[in-house]
Amino acid sequence: MSMGYPIAIFDIGAPVERVQLYDKGLIIKYGETPEKILNNLLNFMLNELKIKPTATTRGKVLFVAEEISFASRYRVEHFQETLLKQGICSDYIQMDEVKNYDFNGYNSIVLYRCSNVNIVNEIVKESERLSIPVYYDIDDFIFDYDKIDYLEFLQNKEYSQFRIKTEQIHQCMEMCKGYMTSTNTLAAEIMREFPNKKVVIKRNVASIAMQILSNDAWKNANNNNDRIWIGYFSGSITHNKDFAQIECILKDILERYPQVYLKLGGVIQENGLGDYRNRIEKVGFTEWKNLPNMIANVAINLMPLEDTCFHSCKSENKWMEAALVHVPSVMSYNVELEKVIVSGKTGFLCANKEEWYTSLKMLIEDENLRRSVGDAAFQRVMERYTTNYPDTEAVKMVLGELKER
């Protein structure tokens, strides 16, 4: 209700009284037949809410990924939700399900970060026989190893075969008709590498589930005014050097403000904050459904990034996730985030250590500023970063309605 969504409940339990006073609420008599319940819902939708039902007949899209992950959730499952709201059906399979799969009836096939060259080749051959376009969705600059070989995390043992992986991804991309990606910077790199093919920017957005969980987390957050928590929720070891950019600043902040505490999520390695270990809480990897609660219980969210093209290709996910729970973010400036964030209003972009320190200082000392920036970021996310946003170009692409370049 606090998010403005329609709601229908049975006439039992405590929520009934609240829903009766809600202009988008419907009370259903417990024990009614399924047919009568459905009729009540349809009448409520058509006559009270004035919502016209959307028939899922506009088209059908097949998504293929090598594995289901937190990233595929943003790129595939959330896009499926966007499509469904516009009357477009879709299916989602993994690479090991492709063999003997019937591609008939699909408007297009979208491959997400696939690197199995042989299977992709078979998909493309069959789709060409059926006149179905195949597109490639990618959200990291991982198709040209020579342009990213300077990255420190690539020296780790687990990335010893990453050059081969990037070459395989490149081969798969070459076979596709066009591309979807998450940022302007990455789109420009794709266009340089694959000229004369269509590239569409489809920014990551929040699903209905994310919005509901975030709203609950925000309402139930523990606002302990005695402590001001600063949070950094990085995830993987690829962000260790990002965090190193601001370690000395955080040390100065912890020194100056005894009420400030630090929460670090994921497997981040901090090396220069040992003197303040009693004010640092570390939490491991967590399921995405738990993340809103973690972020909602900090006062300031951090998003440091190295100043490289690879990092400018990354999306604003961490800002969006914090904005959903009204938490302001302090971020490294880059050309991509400059297009997204209004510094000082929907977040703070910092080009040097002085700006990082000043931004943190202002937010620590001014609770009203924290609230206003967090609220403004939330409003921006609700306007642009949910599955309600139509993503017209991406939708046209998967329906085969985009003109060729």
241 HSE (CA, 13 A, CB side): 12
At 384 the pLDDT is 96
DSSP line for 295-344: HHT-SEEEE---SSHHHHTS-SHHHHHHHTTT--EEEE--HHHHTT--BT
Q: For residues 220-243, give the mean pLDDT.
A: 85
- Domain(s) labelled CATH 3.40.50.2000 in the chain stretch across 59-205+387-398, 208-384
DSSP line for 373-394: HHHHHHHHHHHHSBTTS--HHH
pLDDT digits (tens, 9 = 90+) for 95-121: 999 999 999 999 999 999 999 999 999
The band of 240, judged by pLDDT with boundaries at 50, 70 and 90, is: confident
Contact 22, 7 (CB under 8 A): yes
| Residue 259 CB contacts under 8 Å (≥ 6 apart), including other chains | 226, 227, 228
More confident site: 402 or 279:
279
What distance in Å separates the CA atoms of residue 195 and residue 193, rounded to the nearest whole number?
6
Topology at the third CATH level for domain 208-384? Rossmann fold (3.40.50)
Strand ranges (E), 213-274 = 228-235, 260-266
Q: For residues 365-382, give the mean pLDDT.
A: 97
Contact 377, 348 (CB under 8 A): no
Burial class from Cβ neighbours inside 10 Å (0-12, 13-18, 19+) for residue 346 reads buried
Structure tokens at 39: 């009729």
What distance in Å separates the CA atoms of residue 227 and residue 277, rounded to the nearest whole number?
15
What distance in Å separates the CA atoms of residue 136 and residue 279, rounded to the nearest whole number?
45
At 370 the pLDDT is 97
Which residue, 329, 302, 321, 294, is CA-closest to 222? 294
Q: Report the CATH architecture of 59-205+387-398.
A: 3-Layer(aba) Sandwich (3.40)
pLDDT digits (tens, 9 = 90+) for 112-166: 999 999 999 999 999 999 999 999 999 999 999 999 999 989 998 999 999 999 9
Triad 127, 131, 134: Cα angle to 5° = 50
Q: How would you classify residue 207: left for phi > 0, otherwise alpha for psi between -120 and 50, otherwise beta?
A: beta
